[in-house]
Amino acid sequence: MGYVDEVLEKVSKKNEGQPEFLQAVTEVLESLRPVVEANEELYRKEAILERITEPDRQIMFRVPWVDDNGQVQVNRGFRVQFNNSIGPYKGGLRLHPSVNLSIIKFLGFEQVFKNSLTSLPIGGGKGGSDFDPKGKSDREIMAFCQSFMTELYKYIGADMDVPAGDIGVGGREIGYLFGQYKRIRGTYEGVLTGKGLTYGGSLARTEATGYGLLYFTEEMLKSNGQDIAGKTVCVSGAGNVAIYAIQKAQQLGAKVVTCSDSTGWIYDPEGIDVALLKEVKEVKRARLTEYAAKRPSAQYHEGRGVWTIKCDVALPCATQNELLLDDAKALVANGVIAVAEGANMPTTLEATKYLQENGVLFAPGKASNAGGVATSALEMSQNSERLSWTFEEVDSKLKNIMVNIFHNLDDASKKYGKEGDYVAGANIAGFEKVVNAMLAQGAC
Ligand code: NDP
Ligand code: 2IT
């Protein structure tokens, strides 16, 4: 049996009941076959694949907090520190009732390769909790965040592990987490990114994932003789990534006609009104029904359905496994030319295969959504030199990083005879840098 198949079998046995983690590992290892086959003897001896699929450590802890009725609530907290070969662990914190070890491990594993692709010195990690922020008061959010950090602070630090936001974690939560860390440790350090601008945050971090997704998509289209201007775009999600993806797509001359949240979706043939969407989601933290109520051109539908709308470019920006095989078929039937992931692993393995086999340009999230973590690394640089860069400076660095990521993975796909397969290109390019560092650092 080949080394890849042997390790896939071992990883499946060791991680039973963790479908998202196994899905992510399968996608990566399958596409690494050409590199692994070219180096099989060395990688086997050094147990590279066994080591890269096993986190450095997995921390799980109790998070007790008191709700507004005086009732003690208990959630489970996680931080998975996956690999720090090329820099301190770096990756977001997710607050969502679906969070479990499998989801945090898949996200941490993906983060290793994504962070490597940014070309910046950051390792991979991820964390979060099954806490549901929906409907909670500000005081309850603060109580949860303070309790979460009261345990997490032991394991993080500016040179050790630097968390940030993800689903359910934005500026408000990062503020409460930072305040509690500072209070416990008594040091003022860049231990989190996505901070407010008055206390060490970077301009353009809020916009970075969505903007970066569009810079990447623009470059991918350009390299394939297409232009984003004039294209019709379908976006899913209505959170941080989706909002700034919509905004940048519109600035580049595209028309975005959909967005969605966990209860329903909007079809707005005149183009999404970003200012209204921001008001509904960022300020009021309300449902998309409120968007539809204020926008005569918008139709609101319950449930899922974004991918049934005809578009040239599809940008899934909500969550994992939200674009299924039937959705891929509908997109292809409607003539889609590109799918670029803003979320982490939003497209199932079968849907990805179907899109690629039908000639759709497919950008995997670990490449196309890397702008968020890349800008987090720029925030770390600014914190280290105790300076703040202008919006234009950060944005232009972000754009360069995204354009470079595209060309690095395009080159890697060509080098291994997989031209046009950007999944293979991203995995190979991300993997090579981490493996070189692992080999240099010995068995650790
Ligand atoms: P937000 O919490 O800001 O927004 C998430 C959006 O997706 C919301 O509109 C939410 O709906 C919707 N959503 C979440 N879960 C589900 C679900 N199970 N079914 C349907 N809709 C759902 O998160 P982000 O925008 O930050 O993150 C979105 C994705 O992007 C995630 O996969 C995240 O890992 C990834 N990502 C985020 C980065 C960042 O910098 N923030 C960087 C790179 C990737 P509702 O409003 O109803 O909650
Ligand atoms: O998935 C991701 O890359 C993020 N949620 C951002 C992580 C970060 O450290 O900025």
pLDDT at 1: 87
Residue nearest to atom 36 of ligand 1 (CA): 343
Identify which of 311, 299, 313, 306 has the alpha carbon closest to the alpha carbon of residue 327: 306
pLDDT at 326: 98
The CATH architecture of the domain made up of 208-368 is: 3-Layer(aba) Sandwich (3.40)
- Residue 370, ligand 1, Cβ within 6 A: no
Which whole number is the average pLDDT over 309-330?
98
Catalytic hit among 90, 126, 195, 397? 126
- Residue 169 to residues 90, 245, 314: CA-CA distances in angstroms? 15, 18, 25
Domain with CATH 3.40.50.10860 in the chain: 55-188
pTM listed for this prediction: 0.98
Q: How many A from CA of 372 to the centre of ligand 2?
A: 6
pLDDT at 240: 98
pLDDT digits (tens, 9 = 90+) for 355-396: 999 999 999 999 999 999 999 999 999 999 999 999 999 999
pLDDT digits (tens, 9 = 90+) for 277-306: 999 999 999 999 999 999 999 999 999 999
3-class DSSP assignment, residue 131: coil
Identify which of 425, 433, 430 has the alpha carbon closest to the alpha carbon of residue 220: 425
Q: Which residue is it, tokens 């925030």?
A: 379
Domain with CATH 3.40.50.720 in the chain: 208-368
pLDDT at 395: 98
pLDDT digits (tens, 9 = 90+) for 60-87: 999 999 999 999 999 999 999 999 999 9
Nearest ligand to the C-alpha atom of residue 113: 2
Residue nearest to atom 29 of ligand 1 (CA): 343
Identify which of 73, 62, 65, 60 has the alpha carbon closest to the alpha carbon of residue 155: 60
- Is the separation of the CB atoms in 164 and 193 below 8 Å? yes
Residue ranges lining ligand 2, Cβ < 6 Å? 90-92, 114, 164, 166, 193, 344, 372-373, 376
DSSP code string of 228-275: STT-EEEEE--SHHHHHHHHHHHHTT-EEEEEE-SSEEEE-TT---HH
pLDDT at 135: 96
Is domain 55-188 classified as CATH 3.40.50.10860? yes
Query: Does 126 qualify as catalytic in the annotation?
Result: yes
Using CB atoms within 10 A of its CB, is residue 305 exposed (0-12), middle (13-18) or buried (19+)?
middle
Q: Residue 236 and residue 443: Cα distance in Å, rounded? A: 43
How much of the chain exceeds pLDDT 90, in percent?
Answer: 100
> Where does the pLDDT of residue 312 fall: very low under 50, low under 70, confident under 90, or very high at 90 and above?
very high
Pocket test of ligand 2: the residue of 95, 209, 213, 216 to mutate, having most ligand atoms within 8 Å of its CB, is 209
